[in-house]
Amino acid sequence: MISKFRDDFASLRRERNGKPPVYLDNGCMTLKPRQVIESINEYFERYPACSGYGRSNHWFSQEVKEATEKAREKVAGFINSLPEEIVWTKNTTEGINLVASAFPFKKGDIVITSDREHNSNLVPWIKLSRVKGIVHKTVPSTPEGTFDLEAFEDMLSPDVKLVSMVHVSNLDGYTLPVEEIIKISHDYSARVLLDGAQSVPHRKVDIKSLEVDFLAFSVHKMLGPSIGVLYGNYDELKALDTFIVGGDTVSDTSYTKAVFLPPPQKFEAGLQDYAGQIGAGAAVDYLSKVRMERVEAHESRLTELLIEKLSAFPEVKIAGVKNTELAKGIISFRIMDNNRLLIAPSDITELLDRHYNIMLRAGDLCIHSWFNHMGIGASGVARASFYIYNTREEIEILAEGIEKIIEAEKNGK
């Protein structure tokens, strides 16, 4: 079945030095199947116009309107929400910033995050601490690297207005206990925002079951174009202030007053990425046919296989949580010798790319805070991340490549 998926990805049919690519940088961005590309091309080739909402009422604009409304409905259905609860953004980062900027914070209000947040879910709170006087608190992990629910609950009080947590870590694929986090937060009347950049593309996420207030995610990590989504419970979206304002966010203006539209329109200022929205709908169609349960199971098997392979090399040190029941789909590692770097992560990825066409990511993964706290510093890790088109053979190729660069380094080559 995996080979069937691979046939849809033209980029996997490329070769360099007679070898196909081994693409394991899916945590950053996934490849695009022909169905998504065709949907985007159809917009540009057949009806590349503005959407028909009252001003452009011609044939092309009506087709854009119908296609983008259908895409919003598909994305809503994918996470079990309502279309009016889906706000289009550029990416996860913009979705989080929207909530951070529009939430009715007052000086002294508390925001709680985990200690393993991507900068997208850290820097906005650092900024608001400075400009609005909010208090940002961080939940320390347990010695095993997992989320400490007891420490979290001890932090809660009536002054906590928002709990903003990563759902699945981009370091190691560790899934935070978000069901418990949401329930406990709501017991204290705090709202919850989840960074779903590494969860929505890899498993079934049902916001009605979670009862989460906000969820941000990026379509470019789930086979689609570079566009993002913010889900918000409709009442919570109505309670937010505006974010970026201008055309298409208002129903009327005078020289001194603006009448804003209801959500989601009040957050979608200016000309929208119509092609991106249509491509997002096609990506959701594709993943719905694959079924998210199969995506998660496939990634779990690849994770177990790579951990098994890497455990044969004493020089390879895996970062973060290593329990495959709790962490899957992402493996970050360093190559060490007597507690010092044997090969820098950036060199690992450069050598694997040059000699084996293996594509990984290296560095701090936008979680400088975690690396600094752990004393690892800017060199960071090398990261492999999987998706539906990756195979067991590719894991074997990666393991073989790592073994050979370790041998070469030890032999001084």
Catalogue the active-site residues.
366
Contact 138, 194 (CB under 8 A): no
For 56-172, where are the alpha helices, taking DSSP H only? 59-79, 92-102, 123-131, 149-155
CA distance 296 to 202: 6
DSSP secondary structure letter of residue 213: S
Residue 256 sits at φ, ψ, to 5 deg, of -130, -5
CA distance 372 to 201: 28
Q: Got the DSSP string for 349-406? A: HHHHHHHH-EE-EEE-TT-HHHHHHHT--TT-EEEEE--TT--HHHHHHHHHHHHHHH
Spatial CB neighbours of 374, under 8 Å, sequence gap ≥ 6: none
- The count of C-alpha atoms lying within 13 angstroms of the C-alpha of 311, restricted to the half-sphere facing its C-beta, is 7
Amino acid, single-letter form, for residue 259: V
